């Protein structure tokens, strides 16, 4: 349950939607660099058949937003906040980004991970990031199925319109809201660097991340 008011929760969630177009801009730049270096860009396509499509939609639009936000913003982020909120946000976003397989998706995931982390810190709940995660994945799945049916022009119009609406809404929030709404409480740790490092790399957080990474690698290989 969020610890902020419903109004502030709604405003912050709306503001967090800016992470989607911002992350895509960064990701597009990464893809251009990869093309110039002749690096392979992995592509995801919509599955064939009714049941594979249903499973694909459910896993990407429901299971992934819920489970990933519980792991990265509900567990990892909270356990790393002993070091400081900024440190926890950056590290959890970094781990979140590298859980994604394709190289071009890492910058996008990192940008979104930062937004999601600070939203979770300020609202006191991963619910806000779950909502944005759901919206982003739903748009991605919709894009895959639209592209499958050769509706690139219609898709481009929908996406551009959506991004413009997000940016305008975010600007309106920044102008009309009180400044203190966006002040983040930053915890200043007093532990020495060596002690922090030993606690971090021997922590449940890192162990859990390694286990999930190995599991994903094995699943991909199989």
In three-state secondary structure terms, 40 is coil
pLDDT at position 133: 92
Mean pLDDT (whole number) for 70-96: 90
pTM of the model: 0.69
Query: Model confidence at 118, in pLDDT bands (50, 70, 90)?
Result: very high
Tokens of 155: 């898709």
CA distances from 33 to 106, 148, 187 (A): 14, 26, 37
Mean pLDDT (whole number) for 169-190: 50
Number of other residues whose CB lies within 10 A of the CB of residue 22: 19
């Amino acid at each position: 349950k969020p610890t902020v008011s419903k109004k502030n929760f709604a405003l912050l969630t709306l503001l967090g939607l800016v992470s989607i177009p911002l992350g895509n801009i960064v990701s597009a730049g990464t893809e251009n660099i990869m093309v110039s270096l002749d690096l392979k860009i992995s592509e995801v396509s919509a599955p064939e058949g009714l049941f594979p499509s249903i499973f694909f939609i459910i896993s990407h639009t429901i299971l992934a937003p819920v489970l990933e936000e519980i792991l990265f913003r509900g567990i990892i982020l909270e356990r790393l906040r002993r070091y400081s909120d900024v440190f926890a946000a950056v590290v959890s976003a970094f781990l979140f980004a590298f859980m994604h397989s394709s190289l071009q998706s890492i910058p996008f995931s990192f940008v979104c991970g930062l937004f999601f982390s600070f939203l979770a810190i300020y609202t006191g709940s991963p619910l806000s990031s779950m909502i944005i995660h759901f919206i982003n994945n739903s748009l991605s799945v919709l894009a895959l199925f639209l592209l499958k049916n050769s509706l690139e022009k219609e898709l481009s119009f929908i996406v551009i319109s959506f991004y413009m609406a997000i940016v305008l809404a975010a600007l309106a929030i920044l102008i009309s809201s009180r400044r203190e709404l966006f002040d983040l409480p930053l915890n200043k740790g007093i532990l020495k660097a060596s002690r922090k490092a030993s606690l971090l790399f021997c922590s449940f957080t890192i162990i859990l991340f390694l286990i999930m990474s190995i599991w994903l690698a094995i699943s991909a290989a199989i």
